[in-house]
Structure 1
Amino acid sequence: MKYVEKWVEEVAKLAEPKEIYFCDGSDEEAHWIMEKGLKEEKINGKPVFYELNQEKWPFAYL
């Protein structure tokens, strides 16, 4: 097992996350994460990301 994977496993035992995801850094992954943050994932019932005016600022999110 790689050092990072071992560390994540140890921290996960303490934090008890719902899921763990290792990023690959691809453009497809970035789009998937943004969509998930806009539509699925919530913090206090509100989306993780907010889409800004795409005409003025394409691909810009808060």
Structure 2
Amino acid sequence: MLNLNCLEYVIDAVTAKIYLANRMNELEHLLESWGFQELIKPCTSFYETCKDGKIVVIGNSQVFV
């Protein structure tokens, strides 16, 4: 059984690896290698971008020059 200091180190190290994999777009591979395939879901982004889109400002849109 791990003592509290070792357990905290493991948690910090695992968290750092998850953050890094996410930033490097490798989170899916990391989760698969750790056996967490059930956590991988298809990407259904709420926000979609469109280069021909428009910017909508909600609220105060006054511009000071």
Structure number with the higher helix fraction is 2
**TM-score above 0.5, yes or no:** no
The higher-RCO structure (CA 8 Å, 6+ apart) is 1
- Tell me which interval the TM-score lies in, with the shorter structure as reference length: under 0.3
Q: TM-score, normalised by structure 1?
A: 0.27
Structure-2-length-normalised TM-score: 0.27
